[in-house]
Amino acid sequence: MNLGITLLRCASPFVFIGMSLYGLGCMADPEEMSADPEDVVVREALGYAGGDPGTANHLRPVVLMNHGVQETTRALGKAALVNTNAYLPAMPYMPSASATGEMAGARQEFLEVLIGCALPDGVYVYDPGHVERYIYFNGSFFPVYKKYFGDVGLAPEWTNRKLELQEKQWVTACVLARTNRYGETIQILLEGSHPALAHTEDELAEYPYPVRESKTWGNMFDSTVTLSTTDPSVSPSALPFTAYICSDPQIPVLAPDALFRECDAMDACGFNYMGECCVPTPWHVCPITFTATIRASVKQEDVHVPFPDLPAGWTPVIP
């Protein structure tokens, strides 16, 4: 069932200036009003369409670890994600849709990943804090809000209630797995014990992801780290929560430079690097105590990626 369509049949996804949304009754179908034919294009670009079981890996660490983003994340987890009209709540600490500089595009970037991890395919929500354009209808102009699509489906009930502990851990692990050290976008395969992470043999045969890369886990929703959003004495560069990652032993053998794509390296992405996955060391005990862990695998053609632009005379060194 498409929750967005079901909930919005009798409520427009637009704010009608000077009128109460809840007093309008059933008006034009929102899908007809929004006239949003590029939805399919957007979903394909984000890796939602087609039979490929992979998902996009592109979230920048600087966005993930932003204190405003994490203040918002903590608040979102404490209640139902949306209201009865599929609208996200006000998010005063989230970077604005018009942010510039380092945080340009951060709002959309994070919400794409967060909502994609939590909600299943076919469900979408609107962000009233992000007006994409205006349309003319019945003699008036109305704003069209940014729409975010579900994808993985690790916390489908979040639209109706607050998150439970296991859901927080699963969604966090997914968001971490979809974080890319350089903000590049490639497809990754997410696997784990959650039913939403199961894939058929036919899918994997047609769209192989043969290179196991890393595992991620954590819980950003319940972090008690003080943030600069509420305490100005705290450095905004302080890590807002503890994220964990380990490297699959396959990576150093097959593609050591793949470490530059992902966050499984020392001092990368702000994650707590635990070394090789499930290899006992003085610093890391196997098995991992978190049950909500997600393994990321990559396609063979995405193993070797270009190094980012470096200053003249600099040479990249494999960590």
Range from 31-35, 152-156, 192-196, 215-219 carrying the lowest mean pLDDT: 31-35
* pLDDT value of position 312: 52
Contact 150, 122 (CB under 8 A): yes
More confident of the two residues 75 and 12? 75
> Quick check: helix, strand or coil at residue 281?
strand
The band of 15, judged by pLDDT with boundaries at 50, 70 and 90, is: very low
C-alpha 206/C-alpha 270 separation (Å) is: 35
Range from 12-16, 72-76, 268-272 carrying the lowest mean pLDDT: 12-16
Contact 257, 181 (CB under 8 A): no
Contact 213, 298 (CB under 8 A): yes
Examine the pLDDT at 177 and tell me if it is beyond 60. yes
For 270-307, b where at least 16 C-beta lie within 10 A, e where not — what string? bbebbbbbeeeeeebeeebebebbbbbbbbeebbebee
* pLDDT value of position 315: 44
Q: State the chain's mean pLDDT as an integer.
A: 80
Supply the pTM of this predicted model: 0.78
* pLDDT value of position 287: 53
Cβ-based neighbours of 170, under 8 Å, separated by 6 or more: 117, 154, 155, 192, 194, 292, 294
* pLDDT value of position 48: 47
C-alpha 153/C-alpha 245 separation (Å) is: 21
* pLDDT value of position 302: 77
The band of 142, judged by pLDDT with boundaries at 50, 70 and 90, is: very high
pLDDT above 90 coverage of the chain, percent? 58
Examine the pLDDT at 214 and tell me if it is beyond 80. yes
Give the pLDDT confidence of 264-305 residue by residue, as tens digits. 776 678 999 888 887 656 655 565 667 899 999 988 877 754
Give the pLDDT confidence of 105-138 residue by residue, as tens digits. 999 999 999 999 999 999 999 999 999 999 999 9
The band of 206, judged by pLDDT with boundaries at 50, 70 and 90, is: very high
Query: Would you list the domain boundaries of the chain?
Result: 3-11+40-302
The band of 8, judged by pLDDT with boundaries at 50, 70 and 90, is: very low
* pLDDT value of position 183: 80
* pLDDT value of position 283: 58
More confident of the two residues 49 and 283? 283
Tokens describing residue 122: 């076919």
